[in-house]
């Protein structure tokens, strides 16, 4: 069943903002995101490294935290004002959602909570401001990521996740459904006016499938792949380059030393006008995943980063996409 967006939510979410990962080798992971991907190191300590994209004025959009086990710690969004943090706390209380106010370095008022399908989320209303590097072209290395754009999460119940986030003001721009139905297999939702800030796809969850940074152009993806190969990380290219049907984006996916997945992408379209309906894709239509290029592998479809202490549940919908192994007849 397709959701109805609440255009007057209890508080205002403005965009996908920041993601935090637990990693087991801070130096190795720092080198991957800085040298292979091209992100800017804003700050680092013995236990944390903070990154941002070249055009970002916020202190960080990716945080690595040293830990014994790799995990996705939380997915972060900005809300408009400090008052929206207070309103978000009230919303969590009123809806029996687990939450806590936390103190985070370089961030203003911040809360963390679990959404109804167990995804670990964080809202903040502000961050320390740093200099943009969008015209420091001499520092454009590897893929030259410009800004964090979106997340894709895996969930056991896409309908429940979609209903919750559309109740908070997100609009569904595209969706994948079981053939001949509107039984949701995946939903692409946005608040900032392009195709998505947050995606939920059907599978064992809750888990973080990937986070994505926008790059300047298609040639940046090729250069990132070349840099990965030159630095001995070519085997960590997880998928692509290619072009998605959903969102119309050119893409390249890479895996970091702990196998967290990052997407570098280019060319989303606008999705602003309220009368524009979402685009529907059958799960059996391979063009939804790639307009050209080979299908994704099983590991791309089925591997993802778990949230600490969170039970991973089997999906309610038992539809399975065609994989590269299926295409090649590999069993």
Q: Is 302 exposed, middle or buried (0-12, 13-18, 19+ CB in 10 A)?
A: middle
Two tokens, residue 258: 């702990």
What's the confidence (pLDDT) of residue 221? 96
Contact 59, 50 (CB under 8 A): yes
What's the confidence (pLDDT) of residue 223? 97
Q: Which residue is listed with tokens 């190969």?
A: 229
Two tokens, residue 189: 């939702």
Per residue in 151-184, pLDDT (tens digit) is 999 999 999 999 999 999 999 999 999 888 889 9
**Is pLDDT of 328 > 90?**
no
What whole-number distance in Å separates Cα of residue 315 and Cα of residue 154?
9
What whole-number distance in Å separates Cα of residue 257 and Cα of residue 78?
28
Contact 209, 261 (CB under 8 A): yes
Mean model confidence pLDDT for the chain: 95
> 50: how many CB neighbours lie within 10 A of its CB?
23
Supply the pTM of this predicted model.
0.96
**Is pLDDT of 330 > 80?**
no
Q: Is 311 exposed, middle or buried (0-12, 13-18, 19+ CB in 10 A)?
A: exposed
Identify the structural domains of the chain with CATH numbers, from first to last. 13-129 (3.10.180.10), 142-319 (3.10.180.10)
Q: Which residue is listed with tokens 């800004």?
A: 147
- Asked which of 82-91, 203-212, 290-299 is least confident by mean pLDDT, the reply is 290-299
Per residue in 35-76, pLDDT (tens digit) is 999 999 999 999 999 999 999 999 999 999 999 999 999 999
The fraction of the chain above a pLDDT of 90, given in percent, is 88
Tell me what the mean pLDDT of segment 203-220 comes to. 97
Tell me what the mean pLDDT of segment 238-260 comes to. 96
Q: Which residue is listed with tokens 């986030």?
A: 165
What's the confidence (pLDDT) of residue 331? 63
**Is pLDDT of 92 > 90?**
yes
Tell me what the mean pLDDT of segment 19-29 comes to. 98
Contact 63, 49 (CB under 8 A): yes
Separation in Å, CA 105 to CA 13, 34, 124, 127, 180: 21, 21, 12, 9, 49
Tell me what the mean pLDDT of segment 237-256 comes to. 95
What whole-number distance in Å separates Cα of residue 16 and Cα of residue 39?
17
What's the confidence (pLDDT) of residue 289? 87
Q: Three-state DSSP class for 84?
A: helix
- Under the banding of pLDDT at 50, 70 and 90, the label for residue 319 is low
**Is pLDDT of 104 > 80?**
yes
Q: Which residue is listed with tokens 């790059």?
A: 215
What's the confidence (pLDDT) of residue 178? 87
Q: What angle do CA 236, 208, 159 make, to 5 degrees?
A: 135
Sheet holding 71-79, edge to edge: 40-44, 48-52, 62-66, 13-23, 71-79, 120-124, 110-114, 99-102
Largest CA distance in the chain: 55
What whole-number distance in Å separates Cα of residue 12 and Cα of residue 198?
15
What is residue 312's DSSP assignment?
Answer: P
What whole-number distance in Å separates Cα of residue 316 and Cα of residue 277?
26
């Amino acid at each position: 069943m397709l959701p109805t967006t609440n255009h007057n939510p209890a508080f205002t979410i403005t965009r996908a903002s920041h993601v935090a990962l637990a990693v087991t080798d801070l130096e190795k992971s720092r080198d991957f995101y800085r040298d292979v991907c091209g992100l800017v190191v804003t700050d680092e300590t013995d236990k944390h490294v903070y990154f941002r994209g070249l055009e970002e004025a916020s202190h960080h959009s990716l945080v690595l935290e040293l830990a014994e086990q790799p995990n996705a710690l939380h997915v972060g969004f900005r809300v408009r004002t400090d008052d929206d943090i207070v309103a978000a706390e009230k919303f969590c209380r009123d809806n029996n959602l687990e939450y806590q106010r936390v103190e985070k370095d370089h961030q203003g008022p911040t809360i963390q909570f679990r959404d109804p399908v167990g995804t670990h989320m964080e809202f903040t209303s502000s961050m320390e401001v740093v200099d943009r590097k969008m015209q420091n072209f001499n520092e454009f290395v590897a893929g030259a990521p410009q800004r964090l754009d979106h997340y894709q999460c895996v969930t056991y119940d896409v309908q429940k996740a979609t209903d919750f986030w559309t109740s908070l003001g997100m609009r569904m721009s595209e969706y994948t459904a079981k053939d001949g139905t509107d039984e949701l297999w995946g939903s692409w939702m946005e608040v900032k006016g392009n195709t998505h800030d947050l995606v939920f796809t059907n599978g064992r969850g809750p888990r973080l499938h990937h986070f994505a940074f926008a790059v300047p152009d298609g040639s940046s993806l090729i250069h990132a792949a070349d840099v990965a190969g030159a630095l001995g990380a070519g085997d960590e290219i997880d998928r692509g380059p290619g072009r998605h049907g959903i969102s119309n984006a050119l893409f390249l996916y890479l895996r970091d030393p702990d196998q967290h997945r990052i997407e570098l992408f280019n060319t989303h379209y606008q999705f602003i006008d309220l009368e524009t309906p979402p685009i529907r894709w059958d799960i059996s239509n391979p063009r939804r995943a790639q307009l050209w290029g080979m299908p994704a592998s099983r590991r791309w479809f089925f591997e993802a980063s778990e949230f600490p202490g969170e039970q991973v549940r089997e999906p309610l919908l038992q539809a399975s996409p065609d994989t590269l192994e299926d295409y090649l007849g590999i069993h």
